[in-house]
Structure 1
Amino acid sequence: MPLQRELTPEEVRHLLAGLLESLRKELGNNLTSVALFGSHARGDTHEGSDVDVLLICRDLPRGQCERQLAFLRAVDRMTPKTEGLRHRGRAWEWAPVLKTEAEARYHSPLYLDLTEDAVLLYDRGGFLAGVLDEMRSRMRELGSRRMPLPDGSWYWDLKPSYRPGELVTI
């Protein structure tokens, strides 16, 4: 029997629980929200699917490299808990997106799919839930729709009644 390289849903839950524990130790009260998004959140993974996570913190360094260091320190804390998965031939890559609370309040196009698919793992004070609710409300006002394509992908029609020259904000 060939080794299964992609993670099972149970293994992903185990990884995410370990990540959340490590992030809380590493970031403490600076951690505001953690959400799983992408193929693992939708349940449509394939070999090579990365594990997309959105982290929101009260404050972060300005530079991307410095931001990633906090995440990487948390991942390093998990190493003893994840060695068994690697020894069984499981493979994964983290794909973190890190934002400050101020940055997260801006309705990023990233949030379009999160409004439907995000799995909130940690959300102090309902911060991210509130941001996504605001986004959903705005999308309802515009009549936004996720439009499926034959290959299983999709695109967003943000405002079906759009007229040329009209400015649309989400």
Structure 2
Amino acid sequence: MKLDLLARDGAVEVLRQLCTGEARFKELNRLVPNIRTLSRRLKELQKEELIQRAGIHYRITERGFGAALKIAELERETDRGGVHPDPEEIAKVRCGWLRISLERLTELFLGEFDETLVSLILYGSAVKASFHPGRSDIDLLYVVEDGAGDPWPREGKVFRGFQSTWEYKACDQYFKTRGFHGYPEVTAISLERNHAKRFQPIYLDMLSHRAVLYDKDGFFQDLMEKLEKELKTIGTIRIEHPDGTYGWLLKPDITPGELIEINLGWADGHQQGEG
């Protein structure tokens, strides 16, 4: 591919538009008003197999999706404004299009919750080798400050805004062109800071598989370190199954009626786990 092609007027605009679905010439003409320039760009992009023509419509190709993703990643790398996930953490996300969309989602969470947002964590299959776009969901946990109020209205606003972003639409189209339903279903759980210090069963899954998208003062990472120490103290065993699933034996030497205490710093004292 001729790299200078993407630096020419209208090339990136056309690619970005076609990432969200096929378009006709007159629709692309709104992005590139000069008809001669647009005609030239379309021919050049077709020659490089970044787009293809299907009747009166233009569509992006696999190669075009790859080029658009590289451009989006480069733009994020050179963006010095705002707060971005740690590169090592976001790299845990298996799919490139999911990575850039989740970075955008992180920005929206921060924009809506501002200083009340403590942590935003991605966990589950999205950060596992078993991720499959046709079957896997996006599982999120976010922690807010104590007394921040009902998070649901703000969460709803975040996700409505997210679905209108280019990153979401492009990722959605990317999966659809591969025969999948579209953007994976997103499930979010919220906790207040003090409640997050209580042992939560979902924390066990996060010990080995999580991507920290945002973490004020390392709050959640500290919780995970405390949990690892607590589990080591009580002799917790992780049991692997042949099909790749696993379970936990929290306290192998537990006695009948004994309560398992896992202390992560909850203000009201010790927490009880399930035996």
In the superposition, the TM-score normalised over structure 1's length comes to: 0.86
State the Cα distance separating 1:95 from its structure 2 match: 0.7
Q: Matched residues in 1 for 2:94 and 2:259: separation?
A: 43
Residue 138 of structure 2 corresponds to 51
Which of 94, 109, 115 is the matching residue for 1:29?
115
User: 5+ residue gaps in structure 2?
Assistant: 1-61, 63-92, 177-181, 263-275
Q: Deviations over 1:77-118 (max 9, x none)?
A: 222221222233133111101111011011111111112212
Q: Is the 8 A contact 1:60 1:99 kept in 2?
A: no
RMSD: 1.9
State the Cα distance separating 1:60 from its structure 2 match: 4.1
3-state secondary structure, aligned to 1:29: helix
Which of 43, 67, 77 is the matching residue for 2:151?
67
3-state secondary structure, aligned to 1:116: coil
Q: Is the 8 A contact 2:119 2:144 kept in 1?
A: yes
* Residues 1:149 and 1:8: Cα distance change in structure 2 (over 3 Å): closer
State the Cα distance separating 1:136 from its structure 2 match: 0.9
Q: Is the 8 A contact 1:52 1:94 kept in 2?
A: yes
User: 5+ residue gaps in structure 1?
Assistant: none
Q: Deviations over 1:52-95 (max 9, x none)?
A: 0110011443xxxx533322211222222212222331331111
Larger Rg: 2
Which of 208, 213, 225 is the matching residue for 1:121?
213
1:169 matched to 2:275? The reply is no
Q: Matched residues in 1 for 2:258 and 2:113: separation?
A: 42
In the superposition, the TM-score normalised over structure 2's length comes to: 0.55
Identity of aligned residues (%): 25
* Residues 1:129 and 1:8: Cα distance change in structure 2 (over 3 Å): closer
